[in-house]
Amino acid sequence: MSSRQNAVSGLVIDHDLSDANTLALPSRAERFWHARVERDVIDGLELANAQGWPITVVGGGSNLLLPPAVGGLTLRADIEGTTFRAGDGGAVHVEVGAGVGWHALVDACVEREVWGLENLALIPGLAGAAPIQNIGAYGVELADVIDWVELADRRDSRVHRLERDACGLGYRDSIFKQELADRVVITRLGLTLSTRPRPQLDYGVLRDRVATTPSAREVFEAVCAIRREKLPDPALTPNAGSFFKNPLVTEATASRLLRQAPDMPHYPQPNGQVKLAAGWLIDQCGLKGRRKGAFGVHDRQALVLVHFGGGTLDGLIAFADELVDIVHARFGVVLEREPRRVDASRG
């Protein structure tokens, strides 16, 4: 069934969301609102408020688990535009619309020899979704460079600016996944980058690929090569990237596991916890390449679950839960899901 345009300008009834989730799970929005400027976002929020509809915000869908039907109003903010402004001491202030592709933004920065985002190359999705997960890779997180987030709040239908410290950015977490979930729509981001070289090469797999004093382009290309070698292209093999967070455990737990497996990757954190590699834990359980029905563990990266077609959200969750149970039985560590699951009972 195709989408139907409603008498209310901009509102689409029964909209296919298959292109709004990179896992290619079948899903339809009861009502869909495509916003291209801030005013469109406000109009959508005001309509939802007037009708008493819950709101689900979608973007590129690279970190989203959608049910077969999404009630209320599903809103997508495709606000474009990227500006670069020189600051003091080599600083570069970047303002980017929520609808700009994240990888395109990173590429544009590298093209201008601006440092700060090169380790985050080839992460799928749109810029507006980046603060929700506080995206990170190879020792760099968005929290390292973000200054502010602009958002439209359905409580007053106005655009507000949240400074970085108010965003609650943590490991794959933020206020946008917690208190502000499905209440606000991110419209723009403000970042501070630099023209001064500052390569972050703490990960050995990256350090081995680049020169001692690399350019931003060299780091960017190395990250792209590594990701292409390890991760499937969602356009060819539907997936949501890393399906599980790297677990944070106590020093005591990490010491116990290291006695069992001295080669276990582990990364001490400033707060005393230790980050483990979820992919390694899954791989050690012999689960890499495992398949059940429509879903499987990727054969090159155990952290990625792939959809072979014909599956549903319930089937995916059941498969993921089996993996969690197996890892817990082997290591005593509970893996947490990274992608955001939309509640099927909404509306």
Question: What is the maximum alpha-carbon separation in the chain?
Answer: 66
Q: How confident is the model at residue 344 (pLDDT cuts 50, 70, 90)?
A: low
Mean pLDDT (whole number) for 56-77: 92
Domains and CATH numbers, the chain: 4-77 (3.30.43.10), 82-228 (3.30.465.10), 232-341 (3.90.78.10)
Q: How confident is the model at residue 7 (pLDDT cuts 50, 70, 90)?
A: very low
Supply the residues annotated as catalytic: 172, 242, 338
Q: Is the pLDDT of residue 320 over 90?
A: yes
Mean pLDDT (whole number) for 264-291: 95
Q: Is the pLDDT of residue 303 over 90?
A: yes
Distance CA 340, CA 214 (A): 36
Mean pLDDT (whole number) for 288-301: 95
Within 8 A by CB and 6+ apart from 238, the residues are 22, 23, 24, 306, 307, 309
Mean pLDDT (whole number) for 318-324: 98
pLDDT tens per residue across span 208-264: 899 888 999 999 999 999 999 988 988 899 999 899 999 999 999 999 999 999 999
Indicate the range of 4-13, 52-61, 80-89, 111-120 predicted with least confidence. 4-13
The token pair that represents 190 in the structure block: 């403000």
pLDDT of residue 246: 94
pTM of the predicted model as reported, rounded to 2 decimal places:
0.87
pLDDT of residue 9: 55
Torsion angle (degrees, nearest 10) of CA 207, 210, 216, 221: -100
Higher-pLDDT residue of 35, 202: 35
pLDDT of residue 60: 85
Within 8 A by CB and 6+ apart from 161, the residues are 148, 149, 150, 151
Using the Cα atoms of residue 86, residue 88, residue 90 and residue 95 in order, give the sign of their dihedral.
negative
Mean pLDDT (whole number) for 274-297: 96
Residue 254, judged by CB atoms within 10 A of its CB (0-12, 13-18, 19+), counts as: buried
pLDDT of residue 2: 45
Average pLDDT, the chain: 93
The token pair that represents 42 in the structure block: 């406000």
pLDDT of residue 39: 95
pLDDT of residue 1: 39
pLDDT of residue 230: 86
pLDDT tens per residue across span 93-143: 999 999 999 999 999 999 999 999 999 999 999 999 999 999 999 989 999
Distance CA 292, CA 278 (A): 20
Q: How confident is the model at residue 195 (pLDDT cuts 50, 70, 90)?
A: very high
Please say whether the beta carbons of 187 and 128 come within 8 A.
yes
Q: Is the pLDDT of residue 297 over 70?
A: yes
Please say whether the beta carbons of 320 and 328 come within 8 A.
no
Q: What percentage of the chain reaches a pLDDT higher than 90? A: 83
Q: Is the pLDDT of residue 51 over 90?
A: yes
Mean pLDDT (whole number) for 302-307: 96
Distance CA 6, CA 313 (A): 28
